Amino acid sequence: MTVEFVNATFPIITISIVIPLIAAGLLFFLPERHAKPVSIITSIIVFIISTYMLFAYDYSTYKIQFYEKYTWIPYLGVSYEVGVDALSLTMVWLTALCFVAAFVWSTNIQKRIKEYFVSFLILEAACIGVFVSWDLVWFYIFWEAMLIPMFLIIGVWGYAERIYAATKFFIYTFFGSLFLLIGVIGMYIYQYMEKGILSTSYFDLLNLGLPFRLEVIFFLLLALGFAIKVPMWPFHTWLPAAHVQAPTAGSVILAAVLLKMGTYGFVRFSLPWFPEASKYFVPVMFALGVVAIIYTAMMALAQTHIKRLIAYSSVSHMGFVTIGTFALNMEGINGAIITMISHGFTSAALFLAAGYIYERVHSYEIKDLGGLARFMPVFATLFMISAMASAGLPGLSGFVGEFLSLVGTFKASILTAVLAGISLIVGAGYTLWLYHKAMFKEGELSSSKIERWEKLRDMNASEFLSFIPLVILMFVIGLYPAWWVRLLEKTSAAILSKFIGG
């Protein structure tokens, strides 16, 4: 498969990586009071750039657009190579959006403000970098560099068990990434031995023609790295800990952006690079996906902590992405990508909602809540929409992605689709249960609680502003998915070209 490129006339992608870094560098030396405005403005600029790219992107053909390439380390054949196709672009756009929401929410932060925003800005640059890099060394640099700020965010601004959670997050991810690194180095060396090309470019590694045995080995090495990041069952145990302990904005980014890196890795690397191995491992991936969906949905049902519940639901949603991806057909891939986007919005919104509740009630325990809807009507409405989108109500974003994933999976394996479909009910169950317990159930409220609730204020401007774009987008995708499907169509076809001969 040959890939065409459209060179950028203006290094727009590089700029969107560099701006947050420059802002972070500046903030380190500026007085503390500038931290919030500077970071919000930076994230908005990045968001505007990515929105511009989203609309300027020509989706009628499959070309890597806004493409830049500069030689970097000739000795190793490494170049700085960035560009976007529809998959990267939607991920970048999602990243930029979620960071705007995270920064706007973070105006409430009181503790060590400067370092907080510096960490988030560096994290933003690294996250965008992961999605736009086509050179594997750069991909790995961004992939790993992200660990440092995230480690600090969980560990410094988190809750009681934060250090344990941060360390667990770091070690798990580092473990996976090193195997990913070994896999990539193995392919790189194979390429050099067989073809005499020294290159770490994605497009060179794409046409390697690996023998099946090696394909399986490299697939497994890379899959380990991605699966931990996704996280797939049984590598998911770091996620609830990290989510529960992370500060709200950290949870938002973790759920909305970081988890997507794993599934992005599967779609971007595993499928096109290892077509035979991917086919070979379809049953395994389906099994893991279904186990993730059902098992973690059950786990979510049993949770009493809001964030832990949402964390388990994330693992469950990621299961849909996994089975959609490995259905290896157009519907499946499109569904997987749209689920990724949709889950970005819904999980971000749900974690924000959890953050608002905590700020008011100072508890994440569901039993401490109840009857909030009457006292915070605006919040209750937005929370309701997010919860419904997450549960997959038609008309909202969650439905489109999961439906397409299931259609794709149905074509590949009826049993998998049926099992995954059944668990949708469980999914609706825990979401509704959470909403019901937290927001309604007014009759069971004690009078002291009602007294406290009456003093609660509804959302303020910054909270509303960080929430509302996500909610609008849930409707946009849910009511008009055709635009997104069209955007992704050629890219999905290119990713699947080795399977369905497109």
Query: How far apart are alpha carbons 163 and 169 in whole angstroms?
Result: 10
Structure token pair of residue 145: 């560099």
Stretch that binds other proteins, among 3-11, 85-93, 142-150, 369-377 (CB under 8 A): 142-150
Place of tokens 């927001």: 439
Cβ 318 to other proteins shortest distance, Å: 24
Single out the residue of 48, 73, 425, 500 in contact with other proteins (rule: CB under 8 A): 73
Stretch that binds other proteins, among 134-142, 325-333, 461-469, 476-484 (CB under 8 A): 134-142
Regarding 181 and contact with other proteins (CB under 8 A), the answer is: yes
Regarding 30 and contact with other proteins (CB under 8 A), the answer is: no
Question: Which residue number, 158 or 335, has a Cβ lying nearer to other proteins?
Answer: 158
Single out the residue of 15, 148, 384, 465 in contact with other proteins (rule: CB under 8 A): 148
Single out the residue of 112, 195, 367, 457 in contact with other proteins (rule: CB under 8 A): 112
Q: Of 12, 301, 307, which is closest to residue 132 (Cα–Cα)?
A: 12
Regarding 220 and contact with other proteins (CB under 8 A), the answer is: no
Regarding 170 and contact with other proteins (CB under 8 A), the answer is: yes
Taken in order 384, 382, 96, 243, the sign of the CA dihedral is: negative
How many residues form the binding site for other proteins (CB under 8 A)? 37
Site for other proteins in 182-201 (CB under 8 A): 182, 185-186, 188-189, 192
DSSP string over 333-365: HHHHHHHHHHHHHHHHHHHHHHHHHHHHHS--B
Stretch that binds other proteins, among 41-49, 162-170, 262-270, 480-488 (CB under 8 A): 162-170
Query: How far apart are alpha carbons 139 and 93 in whole angstroms?
Result: 18
Regarding 442 and contact with other proteins (CB under 8 A), the answer is: no
Question: Which residue number, 146 or 340, has a Cβ lying nearer to other proteins?
Answer: 146
Structure token pair of residue 338: 């749209």
Regarding 97 and contact with other proteins (CB under 8 A), the answer is: no
Q: How many CB atoms lie within 10 A of CB 321?
A: 31
Separation in Å, CA 129 to CA 17, 59, 123, 227, 326: 6, 22, 10, 20, 25
Name the pairing type of β-strands 63-73 and 4-7: parallel
Three-class secondary structure assignment of 61-130:
CCEEEEEEEEEEEHHHCEEEEEEECHHHHHHHHHHHHHHHHHHHHHHHCCCCHHHHHHHHHHHHHHHHHH
Single out the residue of 115, 124, 204, 215 in contact with other proteins (rule: CB under 8 A): 115
Regarding 432 and contact with other proteins (CB under 8 A), the answer is: no
- Contacting residues for 213 by C-beta, under 8 A, at least 6 apart: none
Give the residues lining the site for other proteins (CB under 8 A). 28, 72-76, 112, 114-115, 137, 140-141, 144-145, 147-148, 151-152, 155-156, 162-163, 166-167, 170-171, 174-175, 178-179, 181-182, 185-186, 188-189, 192
